[in-house]
Structures are given as structure tokens and as C-alpha cells.
Amino acid sequence: MLKTLLKLFVNSKNKGERHRELAAKLIHHSIRLKPKERILIRGHICTKPLIKELIVEAYRVGAFPYVELEDDEINRHLLRGNVKEQLATSAQWAMKKYTDIDALIIMTGDESSMEMTDVPVEMHRLQGEMMHAATLFYVNNRRWVLLNYPTSISAQKAGMSFDEYEDFLLNVCTIDYVKMEAALEPLKQLMERTDRVRIISPGTDLTFSIKGMPAIICAGKKNLPDGEVFTAPLRESVNGTIAFNAPATYEGTPFGDVELTLEKGEVIKAVSKHMIEMNEILNMDEGSRFIGEFGIGINPYIVKPMGDILFDEKISGSLHLALGAAYNEADNGNRSSIHWDMVLIQRSEYGGGDIYFDDVLIRRDGLFVLPELLDLNSN
């Protein structure tokens, strides 16, 4: 099974050696950096230990590293006062920057889970709208990878001590993603042959079509940790209700377990802990009520919500849908300033559930049942 194939084990190396191992994984597997290429390394201040190793590894390749340091507290102060004219200048600078580089490593470090909660949703919307073109440019035209660096806050969200969480993250980010990619190929092929998808779980009965849509394997090239295959539903094909059971958070606001009802692709009813804020997000723009992504998570070492979507969307036995923008690789035409992933775990201890492709059961209670997919099961 996949866990056996990947062979994760407790690493006896010291922290410095493991940072170097992770830096090498990011540079050589995720980014595939080449001599003379320009790479931007963007990270929060707390990520400096890994940034230093990335600089060393980039120079070892013969590439040219550039660094941007970020701070949540400073970003919050800027965001609260941003106006359209100011953001237009920032967007121009960002576009020039992304045009000039070949690759980008983004490392977030959760310094405070509440830092952005008093920033009005409208300010987030304006920033997302103004920076959208620059973000889309690097997402679709540059090699990039996103990593969440271990912090005390992220460990607390995951319900772990810091040492336990750091060990877990370094382990799961340095598994053999080449083997994972090969194991995911049959699921990709099946999704690309599929028309109708039906998802059934407690409180959930949702149908949509993925006919003709490409399916994208995610095995360490864009995110670390990784482990999913994603596509997008045809925009107006989504009908029914889905009740997500992993806590959904948007820009620091916890919405709890969100329930969505959709008709002809559009969210016509939403239930969450913060309904006023929920409706503000749903009404941000024309595409924010439509689905831009459908993904199936398979990482055998991520088995519970961690309070971090980079982990949660890869949970073994899970699936996720994203409100808002579609990715260029699987583009259903939906455009939005948001991309908000929400996760449903279908393993038996979370209530169970089924996925059907063209009326054929492919996964029950988080375990694949088709012979060609059995290697993806985590047991």
C-alpha cells in the first residue's frame, strides 16, 4: 500500500541536516532549478533557517537566489490602510518581479492565528482583486512551490507539541514523491475517463460532471507536503448538498463545518458559524459562488485536520472542493479573486462515505475499492 511504498520513518538526523534535506527536495524535486536561473525565495521571518539552506543549495546549482522576508504584523498594518491606487503600484511591481524570475519558493510561517481577523473582508477582497493578475501570472507561467514552515501556532492548531509537529512536517515533506507520483497515475487516468461524479456522506449528496477535464497529479511539485489528484467540475454541472467535516478557515476566520447547497453550479444556500462573513465572501464577485476545483486527497501520513489547508486537502480518505477560481491546468472557466478549499473526510471514523464515477463505486469510507487503485489506500 502507499504507506509501505513511501516508507516514512523517524529521522535520526539533526535539525540542520533535515533542513538541508528539505532545501534539496524543494530545489531539485519541486522547482527543478537549473544553472543561471533566477529564483525568488519568499518567506516569513521565522523561516530564515530554511531560507539560508535554500540560498546555499541554489548557489550550489549555479543559480541566482533573491529573498523577500515577510511579517504578518507589518502586513496587517499595510492591509488595513491599502487603497486601490496604492495596490495598483504594488501589483505593477509584483508583475515585473514575477516576469524577471524563473522560479518561486513561498514559505509561510503562521505567527498568529488571529492577526488578520480584524481586517475587513472588503480589504481582503480589494487586495485579492488587485493582485490577481500578478498571482495568476506566476501560478501559470513560473515554476513554484508552497510550504508552511513549522511554528508554535501551527503546532497548536494541529494539536501537537512543537517538537512533535516539526518532526512530523519534516518527515512528511521529505518522503519519496517520485514513488507517490507513479502510484497516483491510475487515479489520474480514471478521472480523465470519467463523466459523472457522485459524492455521498452524512448530510451530503452531490453530483457533477468532470467530462473532458484534465486531472493533475500533485506529488511535491507545487506543495509540500503533497498527495492529491485534482480537476474541476464543469461549472454549471454541480447540484446537491455537501457538508464538510474539516474546519474551514478563511483569512484567519474559523467558519466551522461548512454546508453548501448548489444548483446549476451556484451556491444557493450556505450554513456556517459566521453567516455574515460567509455571505460577504460568497458575494465577493461573480465566480465566488461557483466551484473551481475538485480534488481527492491520499497522503497516508496525514490522517486528521491540522488547521492548515496545505495539509488538510491531502488527508488520507478525503476530498475537497474549492469555491472560486479554477487553476489553469484544469480550467473550467470560473474566475474569482478567491480560491477557498473545503475538506470532507470520508473515513469511517469521520462518518464514512462513497465516491462514484459514472455510477461505479471507486472509494468507500476512505478506501479505494477498484483493483488499480488499491495501492493508494493508507493501510
Residues 99 and 160 occupy one common structural domain: yes
Query: In this predicted model, what pLDDT tens digit does every residue of 216-272 receive, in sequence order?
Result: 999 999 999 999 999 999 999 999 999 999 999 887 788 999 999 999 999 999 999
2 is a domain residue:
no
Residues 166 and 226 occupy one common structural domain: no
Inter-residue contact 196 to 358 (CB < 8 Å): yes
Question: Which residue blocks in 160-257 are alpha helix, DSSP H?
Answer: 162-173, 177-193
Which of 173, 189, 217 is a domain's end point? Answer: 173
Residues 160 and 192 occupy one common structural domain: no
CA distance 283 to 313: 24
Residues 265 and 182 occupy one common structural domain: yes
Asked whether residue 10 carries a pLDDT value surpassing 60, the answer given is no
3 is a domain residue:
no
352 is a domain residue:
yes
Q: What is the pLDDT of residue 370?
A: 97
Residues 162 and 249 occupy one common structural domain: no
Residues 193 and 225 occupy one common structural domain: yes
Which of 117, 143, 173 is a domain's end point? Answer: 173
Asked whether residue 116 carries a pLDDT value surpassing 70, the answer given is no
111 is a domain residue:
yes
pTM of the predicted protein model: 0.86
Residues 265 and 342 occupy one common structural domain: yes
Inter-residue contact 126 to 82 (CB < 8 Å): yes
Give all strands (DSSP E) within 45-142, no chain letters: 64-70, 103-109
Which of 123, 143, 173 is a domain's end point? Answer: 173
Beta bridge partners of 263: 266
Inter-residue contact 235 to 334 (CB < 8 Å): yes
5 is a domain residue:
no
Write the secondary structure of 173-184 as one string of H (helix), E (strand) and C (coil).
Answer: HCCCHHHHHHHH
1 is a domain residue:
no
Residues 168 and 183 occupy one common structural domain: no
How many folded domains does the chain comprise? 2
Residues 368 and 228 occupy one common structural domain: yes
Q: What is the pLDDT of residue 103?
A: 98
Query: In this predicted model, what pLDDT tens digit does every residue of 130-182 receive, in sequence order?
Result: 888 898 899 889 999 999 899 988 898 888 999 999 999 998 999 999 999 99
Q: How much is the mean pLDDT over the chain? A: 91
Closest C-alpha to 24, from 112, 120, 145, 139: 145
Query: In this predicted model, what pLDDT tens digit does every residue of 205-221 receive, in sequence order?
Result: 999 999 999 999 999 99
* CA 295 vs CA 122, 134, 210, 259: distances in Å: 28, 25, 11, 17
Range(s) of the domain holding residue 54: 11-173
CATH number of the domain residue 56 falls in: 3.40.1830.10
Residues 194 and 126 occupy one common structural domain: no
Residues 313 and 254 occupy one common structural domain: yes
Place of cell 480550467: 331
Report how far Cα 98 is from the mean position of its chain's Cα atoms: 21
144 is a domain residue:
yes
6 is a domain residue:
no
> Looking at residues 297-309, what average pLDDT do you find?
93
CA distance 317 to 304: 10
- The torsion angles phi and psi of 294, rounded to 5 degrees, stand at -130, 125
Q: What is the pLDDT of residue 8?
A: 62
Span of 73-82, 111-120, 199-208, 251-260 with lowest mean pLDDT: 111-120
Q: Which helix (H) or strand (E) holds 291?
A: strand 291-297
Residues 38 and 169 occupy one common structural domain: yes
Q: Count of residues for the chain?
A: 379
Q: What is the pLDDT of residue 158?
A: 87
Place of cell 491599502: 82
